Structure 1
């Protein structure tokens, strides 16, 4: 029963995050911040690839370190895009705040998903990255 509650909580958090993103786009009537969705999709990809090529997750490895670096760059870019758009005058500051609030919730949901489902697969998935 706990698994169902966890999945429902993750789904609810994802909906709340996307609601903030849509509000940030719809209220000022500019849909430019919607490009942040590409960062949501791309953020787990480097770590997924690194985990598949990694046999032993103990200690540090250049592959994992590179994946963490690329993931960090993607996450920072997701927060920087609305800030740059607000600075350029393309979107309002309130839209920037709403989009970045949605990003905090969405990235928290992504982290929670990988934390909760780390034991679902055998092999290197069962060992944590951090």
Structure 2
């Protein structure tokens, strides 16, 4: 039952974040939709590193995992800097900028929650 609650809350978080993203596009400029690329790419390095890491050792970190964290950090920082650049260039308004930053925070916290809930190696969890 806890997995169903987790799925429902993660779905709600994703819907709320995408709603903020669409509200950020409400002034007839659709450049902020480029953030969808960052949303899709952010969990990819972590998921790839989870497949290649040797789970038998007790080493807390290795080069592959740290490289994945580096790439993920770069993707997240790029997602936060794109609305800043668009607002400073006058492409979007500052109200849209605030909505996009709120959407970024919600989406990335939801992604972090997804990786926390479904990222462990327990056998009794649902595998997507």
1:13 — aligned with what?
13
Q: Secondary structure at the residue paired with 2:120?
A: coil
The answer to whether 1:100 aligns with 2:101 is yes
Structure 1 residue runs of 4 or more that deviate by more than 3 Å after TM superposition: 119-122
* 1:31-81 per-position Cα deviation (integer Å, ceiling 9, x unaligned): 100100100000001111111111137322111111100100000000000
The equivalences for 1:27-38 within 5 A come to 28-38=27-37
CA RMSD, Structure 1 to Structure 2 (Å): 1.4
- Give distance in 2, aligned partners of 1:12 and 1:54: 31
Number of matched residues?
121
> Could you tell me how far 1:5 is from its partner in structure 2?
1.1
Gaps of 5+ in 1: 123-130
Cα offset for 1:117?
Answer: 1.1
Corresponding residue of 2:120: 119
Rounded to whole Å, the distance in 2 between the matches of 1:8 and 1:109 is 11
**Structure 2 equivalent of residue 22 of structure 1:** 22
1:46 corresponds in structure 2 to: 45
Show structure 2 runs of 5+ residues with no match. 124-128
